[in-house]
Structure 1
């Protein structure tokens, strides 16, 4: 318990320091103002990683990931999916808002596409871009592949794997890594099996890694689900995947 509290305190302090180095980038989707964050190496010609945050919007885990990716030589951009004035105040609001974008997947793909454009405007090499996402953002990572957005690969980190089965499955050109916690009660066996079927139908280059003794938000030090060992492994798997497809 003490170790967990200390880890959370260190993470929160680090995330605050990281956020001080991130620059706010305002952009538009139609009339909606969006406020993303980009790493301090913006403007250089480097591979880029778009980060899709969890269901409450831009959070400390996304900021910490951005800072860590910058150290690895990537320009990282954290997308604002909901937009100014629409950030959920609590879990109930987050579930409703995230649910809207899951159902209206084309709107979600459009917001992701807008963020990708900002990542490129901030220096990312256009043919060396990947998307990673946490939870709701993990769903968005998969939607990036489903929508044939111009990315080399996607990483879904404890994201929802479900897709409306009335949707047609097309070719999936982006390489796909799914980091799936073994004890995630929000993912059913049917969801899991349908995703594999979808990826095979789309002739995708895919991989699923399942992390033992891990619940839904196992990578977030602020969550009671946090599994330090598995979170470190997942991050190393993410870095290995990004290095393969972007460098």
Structure 2
């Protein structure tokens, strides 16, 4: 009986210790220092694929960290990406809009920053159990646009998946430049991503010879994958649970195939 009790207590102790792990990590690009987080389940030290996760325009905050924990599970090591620089953490939509616009305004700066984060994850093998030969990228809203620019830059990713991303760019991909398959998930009623932008993106992907998928979720608007958004702060920006659940399932299937290659 004592042995059984000891085993049960040991199992509970292990379960308690096998929680999502969150470690701050910093890197530099140009004169700026950036500060994000490595997130993974520490119940095993077995190497697993890595995902760059660029959050919405609010950047690295408590909500983004919780989402990273959920998505990482025991499947991935996630690097939660800071695109603004240490100390710049928007507190409201106005501040977020200004910060995101500053990044959008210079495509070279944007691509340089996200590629620096990519390099950071590729070098994180001694800090987290990441298989540095299998790295993908995901992004939400602003972060989705950043993720697509990473792909357009020719980054050697296994794949990239975006949720309600801005699809426009000032530097469209040319034939042969995209090395990663792309999964773009969009709300069918998203007023922030007009039909002209979608058709322009599809044309760009075709002419670039990309391996791409575009999925529209019926009944969903912008921010469908943001549990914090109830539509009260920004009209046309609202969480849609069925679409978020289905999009995450599609993301897992997509990377399951991409990382198997």
Range class of TM-score, shorter chain: 0.7 to 0.9
Q: CA deviation at 1:79?
A: 0.7
**Which of 223, 229, 246 is equivalent to 2:242?**
229
Residue 198 in structure 1 maps to residue 204 in structure 2:
yes
On the 8 A contact 1:182/1:212 being kept in 2, the answer is: yes
On the 8 A contact 2:61/2:89 being kept in 1, the answer is: no
Does 1 or 2 have the higher relative contact order (CA < 8 Å, sep 6+)? Answer: 1
Residue 241 in structure 1 maps to residue 254 in structure 2:
yes
**Which of 71, 89, 92 is equivalent to 1:90?**
92
Structure 2 residues without counterparts, runs of 5 or longer: 1-18, 231-237
Pair 245,168 (structure 1): closer, same or farther in 2 beyond 3 Å: closer
Alignment of 1:158-237 (within 5 A): 158-164=164-170, 167-170=171-174, 171-224=177-230, 225-237=238-250
On the 8 A contact 2:35/2:85 being kept in 1, the answer is: yes
On the 8 A contact 2:144/2:165 being kept in 1, the answer is: yes
Q: Which has the higher helix share?
A: 1
Larger C-alpha radius of gyration, 1 or 2? 2
Partner deviation per Cα, 1:92-149 (whole Å, 9 max, x = no partner): 1211221122231221111111111221222233331100000000001110111111
Q: Which moved more, 1:36-45 or 1:175-184?
A: 36-45
Partner deviation per Cα, 1:198-238 (whole Å, 9 max, x = no partner): 00111011001111111101111111111111110011011
Alignment of 1:69-80 (within 5 A): 69-80=71-82
On the 8 A contact 2:40/2:74 being kept in 1, the answer is: no
Normalising by the residue count of structure 1, what TM-score does the alignment of the two structures yield?
Answer: 0.85
On the 8 A contact 1:25/1:37 being kept in 2, the answer is: yes
Aligned length in residues: 228
Residue 150 in structure 1 maps to residue 135 in structure 2:
no
On the 8 A contact 2:178/2:208 being kept in 1, the answer is: yes
Residue 31 in structure 1 maps to residue 56 in structure 2:
no
Pair 203,109 (structure 1): closer, same or farther in 2 beyond 3 Å: same
Partner deviation per Cα, 1:59-108 (whole Å, 9 max, x = no partner): 34532342234324211110111011222232112112211222312211
Structure 1 residues without counterparts, runs of 5 or longer: 1-18
Distance of 2:169 and 2:79 partners within structure 1: 26
Pair 155,61 (structure 1): closer, same or farther in 2 beyond 3 Å: farther
Q: CA deviation at 1:21?
A: 2.9
SS in 2 for 1:214: coil
